[in-house]
Structure 1
Amino acid sequence: MEPVVFVAVIGGLILMLLIIGAPLRPVRFIGQGIIKLIIGAAFLFFLNTLGNQAGIHVPINPVTSAVAGLLGIPGVAALAAIGYWII
């Protein structure tokens, strides 16, 4: 195999990977964001279920789900503290 053909094939494969791989990154990012929103909503559901006896209620909407999903348990605790003491 000639070096020119070898370099052209490798260059073509790299270009193809760059073209095909580029659109997958935003889709992966959006998918991970949606998964985190769903996990945040589940966290808030369990908080509302268990916190009902203590009078803690945090509404489940996209903003609170995003905070709970992105920050995890500390975010849920912060939302509960805000809901309990401030509101």
Structure 2
Amino acid sequence: MDALIFGAIGLILLVILVKFFSWPLKILMKLLINGVLGVILLLITNYVGQQFFHFTIGINVITALIAGFFGIPGVIFLIVFKLFL
């Protein structure tokens, strides 16, 4: 009987630990995916901008994070920022 109770408590603690440590990994994966999508958006913007408007945005860590974190509004911000700079 005691082994069953200790086993149930151990299983509950294991589930709590897995939930606790998987949360930061989910956030990290989301940031990584958004960063890659941001770079893709910047590449598309640079391709279209170079072909039709002779306009490019440098791809570096800062611009990739802005585009990845904010998505399309972030890329629009970078375009407007570049135009006024």
**Alignment check: 8 A CA contact 1:56 1:83 kept:** no
- Stretches of structure 2 that go unaligned for 5 or more consecutive residues are none
Matched residue, 2:82: 83
* Counterpart selection for 2:34 from 28, 33, 36: 36
Point out 4+ residue stretches in structure 1 off by more than 3 angstroms. 4-10
Aligned equivalents of 2:54 and 2:81: distance in 1?
13
Give the TM-score taking structure 2 as reference length. 0.83
CA RMSD, Structure 1 to Structure 2 (Å): 1.8
Aligned equivalents of 2:45 and 2:55: distance in 1?
8
**Is the helix fraction higher in 1 or 2?**
2
Matched residue, 1:23: 21
- The 10-residue stretch of structure 1 (38-47 or 15-24) with the greater mean CA deviation from structure 2: 15-24
Matched residue, 1:47: 45
Aligned residues: 84
Give the TM-score taking structure 1 as reference length. 0.81
Instruction: Give how far 1:20 is off.
Output: 2.1
Give me the identity figure in percent. Answer: 25
